[in-house]
Amino acid sequence: MEVVATQDSVNHMATQLAREYRALWDGLFSRQIDTDSFQIGAKKLKDNRFSLEGHTLETAEVGHSDTDETTFLHVASLNMVVAGDIVYNDSRGGAWLVTLILLESYNPAIVVASPHSPGAMDGAFSIGASKEYTSTFSQLVQELTSAKELYD
């Protein structure tokens, strides 16, 4: 298996493999990530695109969403974006509205989102739902007086 990524993503992955991050990941995921998973090295993509099953997948580098050096994949022949954690599918979202607007500008018919609630379907509607969540959350942060009030 070959793992490929943009140069910025390769660099970001390397920082996440450092000893101090390994302790963080072990704590967050209760040692569910085996040592071999930390040994997988990604190779830099040439021209930030690759082919899979006859389709060209092109990366779009969007900076920060849920983490630094975020990218998504655009598959023009399928009118699809593979958004990963940029778009949440019927789950909790985050503060990355600008990236969602960029994703939406591709006008995809298919959106592969992550994470999923059990049984949730993928679809372009997930971008709008994530934007609505993000906007509502931002509005509530401005209106409410405490984190507890926001949580409740």
DSSP reduced 3-state for 55: strand
pLDDT above 80 for 67: no
Q: What is the pLDDT of residues 104-124, one digit of tens each?
A: 888 998 888 877 777 888 888
Entry pTM: 0.61
End-to-end C-alpha distance for the chain, whole angstroms = 45
Question: What pLDDT does 96 receive?
Answer: 65
Cα distances (angstroms) measured from residue 10 to each of 40, 56, 92, 150? 11, 20, 27, 36
For residue 8, give both structure tokens. 């910025």
Residues 6+ apart with CB under 8 A from 146: none
Q: What is the pLDDT of residues 53-62, one digit of tens each?
A: 999 999 998 8
